[in-house]
Amino acid sequence: MRLCLFCLWLISLAAPITLHAFDLDAYHTVKTAIPSEIQEAVVGKSIANGYLGVSVDEDASGALRIQEVAPESPAEKSGLKPGDLILALDGKKISSRETLRSIIEGKAIDETLSVTLRSRGQTRDLELSLIPHSQPYQLPEKRVTLGITVGVPDALPGLPVRSTIRSGQAYRAGVRLKDRLISFDAQELGESLSLTDALMQKRPGDSVEIVFHREGKESDQGKAKTVIFKKTITFTEKDLVETIPREEARTLRPWTKPTYRLAVIRVDFLDVKHNPKVTLRDWDTAYFSKGVYHEKSVTGQPVFGSVADYFKEISCGKVEITGKVFDPVAVEKKKLDYNVLRGSNRSLLIEATKAIKQRDGKEVLNGFDGLVFLYAGDRLREVSRGSLLWPHRSTWNIEGKNWNYVVVADGGDEMSNISTLCHETGHLLGLPDLYARPEEPGSEGLGGWCLMSNQSRKGRPQHPSAWCKEQLGWLNPTVIDPRVKQKLILAPIEGSSSECYKIPVRPDGSEYFLLENRKKTGFDASLSSEGLLIWRVLANRPILEESHGIAGPSGPRIVLRSVPWPSEHNDSFTPTSMPSSRSLLGGGFPVYLTNIRRLPDGRIAFWIGYEFE
């Protein structure tokens, strides 16, 4: 009997949380939900919170009484005084601090706020504009550069020059290796001012004076002379560089055409050749066939569809992957000779492209949108992330043309499955990496819940996140206002380009949630579990909010059955739950998702806007 009870307990943990009896007529779908709008976040625009500048207490009359007014605040400048009663904001009666805070935090900085007051027995209306409570520094997208690198501060004045670029302003002004840059625009460089910070304030057209020292020959007294140079330079457009490194600052350029055509260039090395069991036709089937790549690959591994099949499913037919696989071409060196940093040496690409043009004609690559360099053998264990042989996507000028390309291994004895191929093709279509980066301790990634993070390694790559699909135009979410009470239903997203809700957290569009219902079907059959995924989108990147509430990098990768909502741990996502729906930027709209339930048919039901104490 004890064993049976234990089994029932285990079954109850694995069973979905369902609704028992409720009125479906009270619920809306994405087609019938009350829609709202969301502003597009503007790059470089302040996302600070709105600020009125009053301290209030609830009054017995049902209004809010002002206790104090902050100096130089919008409230003081508009004439609000201690003792005044706030009756309404934007025509809405105000009787609690929470309502006051909700309205103010839901306002964009440049929006007008209407205030109804009772002051000294008289009621009056006024309009005022909120100001930022704080004004965080906004990094410019580009800054000027001197064309040098400098070392860290030491006991001597200024900063040591470690390298120079001949085309840079500093070199043209006479700065050389081992000089010391003492000051920039009359400001001494060192511990209190870095060169990067000094350059951040300058723009093309600005002129500045730089002072640098150089040790000369020894004097008659046996001491080295220090020669002081003062030069004036004027920055131009040619001196502009990206403020953030290119890989981090890369903006999304989504592919919007209905077809993407790939040229798959197979590459043999001097010492490693392609597996003769895997023919051109086998690779053509793996990449471009439709509905026939199932059961096993030619080397015996399970397969679940081609690259073309995958993108047809996840895009709901909005993009078609086509192209051509070429017979192998040989490059000049051994495989390990190409295990170099790709930023300094891309000889593998140059040699392979030159070889295929010599063999098949100069125009052989015309009409293709991207290149795949599919090299012989499995991926080397010695390969680092920055290596030319590490699977990656980049852009390179090959014989006068800029190409988007990817580099992947063909697997050697075991033909590579399509998981990595689809991930890299996602890059060609404009999607960034979304996995946790080992060089960034604490970065979370999306675990196994998105193709662009840790895709399934077993040849059945899961769908990308709702954010990825929205960026590429494959998904059109219904926008809903979190302050409007609704009871909603969400069907599985697989096979749909509309089953998704977008919930703004801030009125300027800088932060919002995407809700999708993921089901273990099709390519998503590889998911660890199914249910509602809540994506917080911030700084144009998605963050997964897990139902189990475990914060940090481990969140997407542990207690996998409890990552989707609902779970035995959580059926509500609110400002006071764990995880919390509060804005990570501060302020914003209060978001209450409660009574999240899984229906017997796989749909998800939930309430929005209902606050429960």
Q: CA 599 → CA 15, 17, 354, 596, distances in Å?
A: 12, 8, 58, 10
Whether residue 35 is contained in a domain is answered as no
Least confident interval from 77-86, 362-371, 395-404, 574-583: 395-404
Residues 311 and 419 occupy one common structural domain = yes
Query: What does the pLDDT average to over 352-363?
Result: 96
Residues 341 and 474 occupy one common structural domain = no
CATH of the domain at 189: 2.30.42.10
How far apart (Å, rounded) are the C-alpha atoms in residues 322 and 392? Answer: 20
Residues 379 and 494 occupy one common structural domain = no
Whether residue 57 is contained in a domain is answered as yes
Res 566 pLDDT > 60: yes
Residues 482 and 540 occupy one common structural domain = yes
Whether residue 525 is contained in a domain is answered as yes
Query: What does the pLDDT average to over 131-149?
Result: 76
pLDDT, position 458 = 82
Residues 414 and 284 occupy one common structural domain = yes
Choose one of 111, 132, 153: the last residue of a domain: 132
Residues 181 and 119 occupy one common structural domain = no
Res 514 pLDDT > 70: yes
How far apart (Å, rounded) are the C-alpha atoms in residues 513 and 533? Answer: 10
Question: What region does 39 belong to: left with phi over 0, alpha with psi -120 to 50, or beta?
Answer: beta
Give tens-digit pLDDT for 291-331: 999 999 999 999 999 999 999 999 999 999 999 999 999 99
Show Cβ contacts of residue 220 under 8 Å, excluding neighbours closer than 6 positions.
Answer: none
- Give the amino acid at 249: A
Residues 303 and 411 occupy one common structural domain = yes
Q: CA 404 → CA 52, 251, 263, 286, 445, distances in Å?
A: 49, 14, 11, 21, 24
- Percentage of residues in the chain with pLDDT exceeding 70? 87
Residues 474 and 595 occupy one common structural domain = yes
Q: Provide the whole-model pTM.
A: 0.75
HEC secondary structure over 123-162: EEEEEEECEECCCCCCCCCEEECCCEEECCCCCCCCEEEE
Whether residue 433 is contained in a domain is answered as no
pLDDT, position 1 = 38
Least confident interval from 106-115, 273-282, 556-565, 575-584: 106-115
Res 537 pLDDT > 60: yes
What is the domain extent for residue 55?
Answer: 50-132
- Percentage of residues in the chain with pLDDT exceeding 90? 61
Whether residue 456 is contained in a domain is answered as no
Query: What does the pLDDT average to over 100-106?
Result: 77
Residues 353 and 417 occupy one common structural domain = yes
Res 14 pLDDT > 50: no
How far apart (Å, rounded) are the C-alpha atoms in residues 586 and 575? Answer: 12
Instruction: Respond yes or no on whether the N-terminal peptide bond of residue 566 is cis (omega within 30° of 0).
Output: yes
pLDDT, position 599 = 96
Question: What region does 531 belong to: left with phi over 0, alpha with psi -120 to 50, or beta?
Answer: left
Task: Give 308's DSSP letter.
Answer: H
pLDDT, position 409 = 96
> How many Cα atoms are found within 13 Å in the side-chain-facing hemisphere of 313?
21
Q: Which residues pair with 187 in a beta bridge?
A: 184
Whether residue 439 is contained in a domain is answered as no
Give tens-digit pLDDT for 79-88: 999 999 999 9
pLDDT, position 456 = 82
Task: Give 573's DSSP letter.
Answer: B
Whether residue 449 is contained in a domain is answered as no
Residues 152 and 206 occupy one common structural domain = yes
How far apart (Å, rounded) are the C-alpha atoms in residues 213 and 520? Answer: 67
Choose one of 369, 402, 428: the last residue of a domain: 428
Give tens-digit pLDDT for 373-406: 999 999 877 666 778 898 999 988 877 788 999 9
More confident site: 220 or 308: 308
Least confident interval from 100-104, 132-136, 217-221, 599-603: 217-221
Domain count within the chain? 4
pLDDT, position 350 = 93
pLDDT, position 399 = 76
Least confident interval from 32-36, 211-215, 378-382: 378-382
pLDDT classification of 250: cutoffs 50, 70, 90: very low
Choose one of 132, 161, 177: the last residue of a domain: 132
Residues 225 and 264 occupy one common structural domain = no
Query: What does the pLDDT average to over 584-609?
Result: 92
Query: What does the pLDDT average to over 402-415?
Result: 95
Instruction: Decide the pairing of beta strands 370-375 and 401-409.
Output: parallel
The mean of the pLDDT values for the chain is 87
pLDDT classification of 196: cutoffs 50, 70, 90: confident
pLDDT, position 22 = 62
pLDDT, position 398 = 79
Contact 517, 603 (CB under 8 A): yes
Query: What does the pLDDT average to over 171-196?
Result: 89
Residues 201 and 301 occupy one common structural domain = no
Whether residue 287 is contained in a domain is answered as yes
